[in-house]
Structure 1
Amino acid sequence: MDLTTWLSLVAVCVMGAISPGPSLAVILRVSISQSSLHGVLAAITHGLGIGFWAFLTLQGLAILMAQHQDIFAVLTVLGGLYLAWLGVKAWRYAGQGSDVNVEGVKSSYWESARDGLMISLMNPKAALFFLALFSQLIPHNMDALIKFQLWATVFVIDTGWYIIVALLLAGGPVLAWLRRHIVWVDRGMGTVLILLGLKVAIGSFVS
């Protein structure tokens, strides 16, 4: 995988992770109402859940690429349009998903880990997002190493961000800054998604 492609993946994953939403609400609730260690466990299991969706998506795309090139080509274009649509929505509704509830009751380490895992597994939209994103970025000669690089990038970014939230940001100034500027965080991610989508659309017409 070339550096430009990988950096595109990193940019989308980072902006998607830091944008406040249900996952952030859960990690914050666990970290503040329990402890940082509870939050770290929830962050790790959340990353595993997101990694699960990424793995399933990669396996499905690998089969399409190997056996159904025409279907994969159509999926690539549709994926680009979907990314662009997500980008438009991010601009249109920027900042409207920033409210988080951090209240909670005491729970065990196991319950905290379970909460982190379930909030990601119960989000099938993640699979649709990865389907659209990966279809734009993966090369036609994708092998096991490239699949691992893609999966590891998604897992490390998601897990790393929420570990930072659990250890440093819960109630801290950085999180407060993100909340104050969530409109621009959403718009920044929207811009990246729109550019990725347009790249595919224009490329399909040129070729």
Structure 2
Amino acid sequence: MTLSLWLSLLGASMLISLTPGAGAINTMTNSINSGFTRSIWGILGQQAALLVHVVVVAAGVGLLVSQSPVIFSVVRYAGAAYLVYLGIRLITAKAEAETELEKRGAESAFSMFRRGLWVNLLNPKAIIFFLAFTPQFIRPDEPLLIQYLIFIGTIVVVDVIVMWFFFAAAAKGFRRFTSTARGQRILNLVFGTLFIFVAALLALVH
């Protein structure tokens, strides 16, 4: 991969990561509820899903999904349903003051990783996106393995940086609201509604 092509990939990756979506909402929610440092576990789960998407596209399965309306619809509605589930769970969650949260204990790293994985994995738009995006930066006449490693490595590193140092860091300012049950209810309502809004976009916008 030439330097100019890699710089184009770098710029495109930054723009993509900075675009708000379910991953960004999930990251901010984790940062507010579990803290900036521990929010990395949800981000890593999201990166694992990106790896799966690239492998799926590279293996040609992405083409099958994109050309099969039935398969695409099943994945699309499953993803939307999962986001609605997360939204409703946030909205209906019992609000607890910060001291109560500390007594109950923080969410486990595995739980945050798993949720991050499913948030990105159940997004068929990501498969279609990578299906259109990947060929722009992969040259079939050059060694494929090193190109794919550079491709996914760039995307993952950029996404981790943006998610952690932009979205998770931005959410730190909301942490003061979790010191009261009322503040936490408001934040849960806001972020739960955002999850449902993104789900509606995923299900209805083609």
TM-score scaled to structure 2, two decimals? 0.57
Q: 1:122 offset after TM fit, Å? A: 5.0
Match 2:187 to one of 185, 188, 200:
185
Structure 1 segment 21-40 matched on structure 2, within 5 A: 23=34
Change (3 A) 1:190 1:136: farther
Task: Please give the per-residue CA displacement for 1:119-154, whole angstroms capped at 9, x wherever unaligned.
Answer: 31354333223424x655673215433333323233
Residue deviations 1:34-71, cap 9 Å, x none? xxxxxxxxx54x24433332221111121223321244
Q: Any idea what SS the aligned residue of 2:205 has?
A: helix
Shift of 1:4: 9.4
Q: Match of 1:79? A: 79
Alignment match, 2:179: 176
Q: CA RMSD in A?
A: 3.9
- Distance of 2:186 and 2:32 partners within structure 1: 10
Give the letter aligned to residue 6 of structure 1.
T
Return 5+ residue gaps in structure 1 as ranges: 25-42, 104-114
CA distance in structure 1 between the aligned counterparts of 2:199 and 2:184, rounded to whole angstroms = 22
1:68 to 61, 64, 77: 61
**Counterpart check, 1:17 vs 2:10:** no
Instruction: Quickly say closer, same or farther: Cα 1:125–1:97, change in 2 above 3 A.
Output: farther
1:121 aligns with 2:110: yes
Task: Tell me what 2:8 maps to.
Answer: none
Q: Distance in 1 between matches of 2:125 and 2:158?
A: 15
Q: 1:159 to 1:6 in 2, by over 3 A?
A: closer
Q: Distance in 2 between matches of 1:174 and 1:61?
A: 36
Q: Is the 8 A contact 2:83 2:195 kept in 1?
A: yes
Alpha-carbon contact 1:90-1:186 (below 8 Å) kept: yes
Distance, in Å, in 1 between the alignment partners of 2:115 and 2:24 is 19
Asked if the contact 1:5–1:137 (Cα under 8 Å) also holds between the matched residues in 2, the reply is no
- Extract unaligned runs of 5+ from structure 2: 1-11, 67-71, 135-150
**Aligned AA (1:121):** F
Residue in 1 that maps onto 2:200: 198
